Structure 1
Amino acid sequence: MRAITWEVSGSQGFETAWVQLREGTLRARGRAVGTVSEPYWISYELETAEGFVTRRLTVTAETGAGTHALDLLHDGQGRWTADGEPLSDVGGALDCDLGLCPLTNTMPVLRHRLHQAPGEREFLMAWVSVPDLVVRPSRQTYTHLGPGRVRYSSGDFHSDLEFDEEGYVVDYPRLATRLTVR
């Protein structure tokens, strides 16, 4: 298990994730603290099936208004539920994307080796906003730019991300910069 810490400029905070990659799967637990748009604490656990396809994301958020939680589950066939309720608008998505979390960019990049090999892929993501934990559909495109470099695009936003050889974000301009790996 590896510990990775990022300074998250997008939230004016920090995130640490304890991550384990094993034979096409990823398991992680993490904690983040941020001050934008309001002060919050986030705790999460992420589990993927083979091919780095999200199986489950559980998140707890604490703000000044209180604590709330999300249990986001993917059935492996493209169907999602949030706290047991079906989410038809993200049907067909393979991945979750936890807002302001650089770790969740790893799954599609590893699945298609976009940090190592040429290609461009468009994805539908089950995007989870932070700190309110609302799930929304998000169309995202990842484009290989060179070894360890991938352009992320969604709507009018794009950023050229740097990944290490294992597929973890090193630098995500305007969002996060990795501080440690252990």
Structure 2
Amino acid sequence: MTAPNTVLTWQVEETGGYETAWVELAAGRLRAHGRAVGLKPEPYWLSYELDTDAGYVTRRLHVTSHTVDGTYDLELRRDERSRWTANGQVVLALDGALDCDLGMSPLTNTMPVLRHQLHRDEGHQDFLMAFVPVPTLAVRPSIQGYTHLTPLMSGARLGYASGTYRSEIDVDADGLVVHYEGLATRLNRAAPKL
């Protein structure tokens, strides 16, 4: 991975843990790698690598999760026809999805927000997502909705919905999560020293 534009750290209240992501945003693409540690729903440690194609559409997510019961590994890929594989096995239920959503991670909320400019413009969008629950990484489809609620001094407040779950997400001018109600709060955003 090339040098990141930014390094983000969140306190993840829902897991009792933290996540740090090294992120490169450029020319409609996002690349990142990160690490997270949590205590809930059980103690875990994970690492991930994320790559998107043009338009912030997920191309690949590789995640490794360590728990007291063992290690889980997921290689999630989307091809040019929006067909997904998980560890090489086709997942037909994800056909047409453009994004992955790594559970308990505020980073993966960024792609649909940027693609539809919801951090800048009014609107609502529903998405079929490849949801990856942590720590088991057993990928499944998830319908999620994002709504631009109000502009903020630097970014916007968005409404988020999935099934009966509702929350609000504050993002900065780059579409990166600052605060995800009930899930995470960003502690730091740092640029590498040149």
TM over 0.5: yes
Aligned pairs for 1:1-182 within 5 A: 1=4, 2-147=6-151, 148-182=156-190
Structure-2 separation of matches of 1:12 and 1:76: 37
1:112-165 Cα deviation digits (max 9, x unpaired): 010110110000000000000000100000001122111010011111110000
Structure-2 separation of matches of 1:66 and 1:134: 14
Segments ≥4 residues shifted beyond 3 Å = none
Identity %, equivalent residues: 56
TM-score between the two structures when normalised by the length of structure 1:
0.99
| 2:170 maps to amino acid | E
How many residue pairs match? The answer is 182
Q: Tell me how far 1:93 sits from its aligned partner.
A: 0.3
- Listed as ranges, the gaps of 5+ residues in structure 1 are none
Structure-2 separation of matches of 1:77 and 1:104: 21
RMSD, aligned CA: 0.5
Structure-1 separation of matches of 2:80 and 2:46: 26
| 1:114 maps to amino acid | L
Secondary structure at 1:33 match in 2: strand
Secondary structure at 1:160 match in 2: strand
1:1-49 Cα deviation digits (max 9, x unpaired): 1110000011110000000001000000000000001100010000000
Secondary structure at 2:19 match in 1: strand
| 2:52 maps to amino acid | T
Structure-2 separation of matches of 1:134 and 1:146: 34
Structure-2 separation of matches of 1:149 and 1:139: 20
TM-score between the two structures when normalised by the length of structure 2:
0.93
Structure-2 separation of matches of 1:172 and 1:82: 27
Q: Tell me how far 1:76 sits from its aligned partner.
A: 2.4
Secondary structure at 2:80 match in 1: coil
Structure-1 separation of matches of 2:41 and 2:165: 19
| 1:46 maps to amino acid | L
CA contact (8 A) 1:52 1:108 kept: yes
Structure-1 separation of matches of 2:167 and 2:91: 28
Q: Tell me how far 1:66 sits from its aligned partner.
A: 1.3
Structure-2 separation of matches of 1:81 and 1:110: 24
1:75-112 Cα deviation digits (max 9, x unpaired): 02110000000000111100000000000000000000
